[in-house]
Structure 1
Amino acid sequence: MRTLLYIREAFLVEMRGMMGGFYKISEWIMRLSVTNVLWVLTSLPVWFFLVFGVLRASTTDELVTMLIPMAVLMPFTWFPSTSAMFSVARKWVMGDTDVPLLKTFFRSYKQNYLQAMLGGLLYSLLFVILIVDYQVYLKKFENLGVLSILFLALMVLLLVSLFQFFSLLSHFHMKTIQLLKNAVVLTIGKPLRSLSTAVGSAVIVFISFRYTFLIPFFMGSLIAVFAFYNFYLTIQKMQAMANKEEDPLPIEESPTRDEDMPKV
């Protein structure tokens, strides 16, 4: 009889453990999907031009025709919404997993809107220049060879620096020019971490395009969590080394967002 009771209690404990695990998984699915849907909805015009224009363009003229309105819209929609998504991801990475999603997202969207827009104007211009130049050179020379690798490397560096920009914007209080400068410093100064961010993000994008239902529900939020996690590890390591050696950080130090922002 005691053996049966022991088996029953062990079974109940195991079931509670399994149910707890399923509950945690379902919570993370909800967090990631809600944040990703908010990101898509608040930047919907950009997604419209991307899906129905840029990805279907067959000539350079068609590509430019779709890229121009998309690039104009991105600083005012996609960049602020991505900044808000990174702010939510920051909370999760730093251990505040129960943060209110809607309140945190839209508060960050409003507070960081101007800086995200200004940074977006520069990044959008740089991306358009790279894409159009590549299309023009490809049409002119047909086989770019080394130039193709150079364009790809520049695109990857620009994309990683963009992730650094969003991470810095969500984590520190800095002027926009400082954010842009430090994003470049972190990208070039930490090549292995930058490569890790690029490869991890590329894997997420590849899997998302393979299973397209992941794009509106998980792709952006997963990349934000992964990119900010890499950024946060870098900042913690740099701060630890600076404290140990009593030297300033390689980036310009500014107070973190939580030091003068009310708790959510």
Structure 2
Amino acid sequence: MEMKGMMGGFYKISEWIMRLSVTNILWLICSIPFVFVLLPILFAETTDQVTSNLIIAAVIAPFTLFPATAALFGVARKWVMGEVDAPLLRTFFKNYKESYVQAMLGGILYAVLFAILIVDFRVYLVKLGSMGIVSYLFVALIVLVGVSLLNFFSMLVHYHMKTLQLLKNALLITIGRPLRSLSTVVMCGVVLFISFSSPKLMFLVPFFTMSLVGVIAFWNFYGIYTKLQMQAEKAAEAEAEEERKRLEEDAAIMLPNTEDGRTTIK
């Protein structure tokens, strides 16, 4: 029996808290090696310690963080598409298993790309003081690649494509739909800012942060997908209409020419 009124509202809120927190915890558990390497950066005392930990984290990420994130996006896909009662454990690990290889391969490329951009950013910011303004260009590129990574995960769990096609289309969608990309940056940025803005809010990180990012990112991607699908349907309808008119014009050439109703080509 479905509850209504205020109690029904509280029940639905508690359900979503459970869904988001369980999925986020599953993601965190599957990313444990990456998290263990990344955490010491918060307490690092020298730049060399930060750099060494980032290098190790970049090596580990494609094998742990990226498959776990793909699995999380698989669950977010179910929610955005209306399947809110999909079994969490089964959906998560099914997507983890099915998308592991592609997530790993894509993760290797993205890890290398992020490493190059971060190194260039540091070089222009610290080493080349007179060209420090150029470092902001690399910040923009890092954000752009970050959004394309979110689109990559969304496409990975929504389409059956080869890895290179996923990477190419993720970048094309990110660049070709700037408003959606900006929306993803702003909304995900707000979630991350709130999560890390205060020690009192850090509890959001293990329970809600990544789940919310996954839902927001896939929701924006699904908006792009729905619009592209509508455009494709309209184009198909227009093409069918043109074909119908062409057939009618061809049929108009055929005119009755005898009393028995036979026709001949004019």
TM-score (norm 1): 0.84
- May I ask how many residue pairs the two structures share in their alignment? 232
- Alignment partner for residue 212 of structure 1, among 202, 210, 225? 202
SS of structure 2 residue aligned to 1:246 = helix
> Using the alignment, how far apart are the partners of 1:232 and 1:33 within structure 2?
22
Q: Work out which of the residue numbers 232, 240, 249 in structure 2 matches 1:242.
A: 232
Displaced runs of 4+ in structure 1, greater than 6 A? none
Work out whether residues 86 and 166 of structure 1, in 8 Å CA contact, stay in contact via their aligned partners in 2.
yes
Q: Does 1:172 align with 2:152?
A: no
Which stretches in structure 1 are left out of the alignment for 5+ residues?
1-14, 248-264
**Counterpart AA for 1:228:** F
> Does residue 222 of structure 1 match 2:222?
no
Partner SS state of residue 173, structure 1: coil
Q: Is the 8 A contact 2:124 2:132 kept in 1?
A: no
Quote the offset at 1:57 in angstroms.
4.1
- TM-score (norm. length: structure 2): 0.84
Q: Say whether the 8 Å CA contact 2:122–2:135 is kept in structure 1.
A: no
8 Å CA contact 1:60, 1:135 repeated in 2: no
1:206/1:225 CA distance change after superposition, 3 Å: same
Contact 1:64–1:132 (Cα < 8 Å) also in 2: no
2:10 maps to 22
- Unaligned runs of 5+ residues in structure 2 are 238-266
Give the Cα separation in 2 of the matches to 1:61 and 1:52: 12
Tell me the equivalent position of 2:240.
Answer: none
1:52 is aligned to: 40
Which SS does the other structure have where 1:112 is aligned?
A: helix
- Compared with structure 1, are the counterparts of its residues 44 and 143 closer, same or farther at alpha carbon in structure 2 (3 Å cutoff)? farther
2:79 — aligned with what? 92
C-alpha distance in structure 1 between counterparts of 2:4 and 2:47, whole Å = 59
Distance 1:124 1:81 in 2: 15
Please tell me the residue identity of whatever aligns with 2:156: L
| Candidates 214, 232, 237, aligned match of 2:222 | 232
Which residue of the other structure, out of 26, 38, 43, is the alignment partner of 1:38? 26
